[in-house]
Chains A and B, each alone.
Chain A
Amino acid sequence: EAQVTQNPRYLITVTGKKLTVTCSQNMNHEYMSWYRQDPGLGLRQIYYSMNVEVTDKGDVPEGYKVSRKEKRNFPLILESPSPNQTSLYFCATGQRNTEAFFGQGTRLTVV
């Protein structure tokens, strides 16, 4: 079964405590991406990767890091989380000029 798996699904953390949200896909897709979704602002792209070791900034990359060391994984790293990073995060995967498949989301709260 084609899957995009995010972990954790829910996370409450404190300001400044480094965290990583993992994303894994089993579809051998080249493209992976992270989005955050906030009320009234829709989905905004944080970072994306079009292949292993290739990453690019999206629209809101500040405060985030990513890595793409292998094709199936694309972790999102918050080195020093702040309350304004409280959001619903989605990982997505796809191929060139095809639709993106989204994970189930990670709800992050930074207090």
Chain B
Amino acid sequence: GESVGLHLPTLSVQEGDNSIINCAYSNSASDYFIWYKQESGKGPQFIIDIRSNMDKRQGQRVTVLLNKTVKHLSLQIAATQPGDSAVYFCAENIGGTSYGKLTFGQGTILTVHP
């Protein structure tokens, strides 16, 4: 079946660097995308979302880019901090009457070295 995937399973960066986490999706009907952060022993925590009518959305230190042509999603974290170390998941949703059905990617482990 169609699913969300990731290019890189692990990413190591130095504190202060910018991080980019990538995600490829295959369902062209998906119109809502979410990035989650999961720290050890905790549930996933919302970071930022983007709808398919947008190409870019910015939050505090984070930016999500959506390229519908190649079905690619990325999360950029500026000035990465040790507290950003976690597993990051992208998720997609078709919306409409199926807005409750989220499909998650495998996750990327981000490690930030002091």
Nearest chain B CB to A66 CB, angstrom units? 12
In this assembly, does A12 line the interface, its C-beta being within 8 Å of a C-beta of chain B?
no
**Residues 57-90 of chain A, each 1 if its beta carbon lies under 8 Å from chain B, else 0:** 0110000000000000000000000000000001
B43 touching A48, Cβ below 8 Å: no
B43 touching A103, Cβ below 8 Å: yes
Nearest chain A CB to B112 CB, angstrom units? 21
A45-B46 contact, Cβ under 8 Å, with A97-B32, A97-B95: no
Q: Given B41, B102, B103, B107, which contacts A100 in the complex, CB threshold below 8 Å?
A: B102
Instruction: Bin chain B's interface residue count.
Output: 20 to 34
B44 touching A90, Cβ below 8 Å: yes
A104-B101 contact, Cβ under 8 Å, with A40-B106, A43-B89: no
A50 touching B45, Cβ below 8 Å: no
A50 touching B100, Cβ below 8 Å: yes
How far, in whole Å, are A40 and B45 apart by their CA atoms in the complex?
Answer: 19
Interface residues of A, Cβ cutoff 8 Å to B: 4, 31, 33, 35, 40-45, 48-50, 56, 58-59, 90, 92, 94, 96-105
Interface residues of B, Cβ cutoff 8 Å to A: 1, 32, 34, 36, 41-46, 49, 51, 89, 91, 93, 95, 99-107
